[in-house]
Amino acid sequence: MKKLLRNLTFAGWLSFIGIVLVLLVAIFAPLLVANDPMETDPLRRLSREEGFPLGCDQLGQCVYSRLIYGARLSLIIGFSARLSSLLIGLAIGLAAGYAGGWLDWFLMRVVDMFLAFPSLLLAIAVSMVMGSGIKTVIFALAIVGWAEMARIIRSAALELRSAEYVLAARTLGASHLRIVLTHILPNCLPLITVIFTMGMATAVLSEASLSFLGLGVDPSLPTWGGMVASAKDYMLRRPELVVYPGLCIAFLVIVFNIFGDELRDILDPSRKGNW
């Protein structure tokens, strides 16, 4: 952690501050909003009224307040989706990398299969089968995201398997489970931090795309992707209503991308410069 803070570049600090900022906005959303984000009023439709900082959308809802709550949904869904893919990816990746042999071969073919599916279409298909809702979106993004995590963790585990301290632990009679949990897993942690952060960018972007297509969570909930989708029909009158939520998505994705990149350069220098 100390090493991390010392080595962070200027861009890294900026992106870190950006993430903290969005996090604070999400936590303190009820204190920051100007109006109830769900309250509709046909009379305020697309108006720029006093007390509504960024005006109102096509249902007369406060755009500013919806943007604030949108941060909450983006972070909650992105984080839960990442966590779920991480858990699946860890289980599969560690098993494949540590066991090797036919199990590795088999699990990696399963990973190949999931990587082959066009991710957005797969997420759409999953959310259609399961019906809309926050849990569905999280599940769909986890199904799409776990394979890449499994592949990266597997190659790390494969290298660690033949490390001297693992062989030593084995000779001392440690069980496989113990070795994986106390020797392999802790040494994968820096790598896991990196792929988790970089994956947050992808998860946020995918959630926004699903919401934009109307296949994410309930469309009445304030999601940034959903706000772009509903504002696009009124783009000729109020083009800025597309831009505000769009920029929020771009901002969150950019800070996660830069911060993830920075983390990788510091924690995992061997992969420096590639994405």
Partner 1 sequence: MLEFTLRRLAATIPVLLGILLISFVVLYLIPGDPAQTVAGPRADAATLARIAEEMGLDQPLHQRFFSYLHRIFKGDLGSSAVSGKPVLDSVIEKLPFTLKLAALAMSFSIVLGILAGIISAITQGRWLDRVCTVFSVAGISIPVFLSGLVFLYVFAVRLKWFPSSGFDADNSLMPFILPAFTLGIRSAAFLARIVRSSMIEVLNQDFIRTARAKGLSPARILFRHGLVNALIPVITVIGLDLSSYLNGSVIVETIFDLPGIGRFAMDAILQRDYPVIQGIVMLGALVFILVNLLVDLLYAWINPKIRDEMLGKLAR
Which residues sit at the interface with partner 1, rule CB under 8 A?
100, 109-110, 112-113, 116-122, 124-125, 128-129, 201, 205, 208-209, 212-213, 215, 225, 228-229, 232, 235-236, 239, 242-243, 246-247, 249-250, 253-254, 257-258, 273-275
Nearer to partner 1, 100 or 190 (CB): 100
Give the DSSP H or E segment for 32: helix 29-32
Distance CA 79, CA 138 (A): 9
Nearer to partner 1, 28 or 105 (CB): 105
Nearer to partner 1, 32 or 122 (CB): 122
CB of 253 to partner 1, least distance (A): 4
Nearer to partner 1, 15 or 61 (CB): 15
**DSSP string for residues in 220-259:** TS--HHHHHHHHGGGTTT-THHHHHHHHHHHHHHHHHHHH
Nearer to partner 1, 24 or 113 (CB): 113
3-state class (DSSP) for residue 56: strand
CB of 213 to partner 1, least distance (A): 7
CB of 171 to partner 1, least distance (A): 23
Q: Give exposure, 137-147, as e/b (b: 16+ Cβ within 10 Å).
A: bbbbbbbbbbb
CB of 78 to partner 1, least distance (A): 13
Rg (CA), the chain: 22
Query: 221 phi and psi, to 5 degrees?
Result: -70, 145
Return contacts of 227-233, CB within 8 angstroms, 24+ apart: 227/57, 227/63, 227/66, 227/67, 227/70, 230/57, 230/58, 230/59, 231/57, 231/58, 233/58
Nearer to partner 1, 55 or 100 (CB): 100
CB of 193 to partner 1, least distance (A): 20
Distance CA 106, CA 120 (A): 25
CB of 141 to partner 1, least distance (A): 13
Hey, which bits of the chain come out as E strands? none
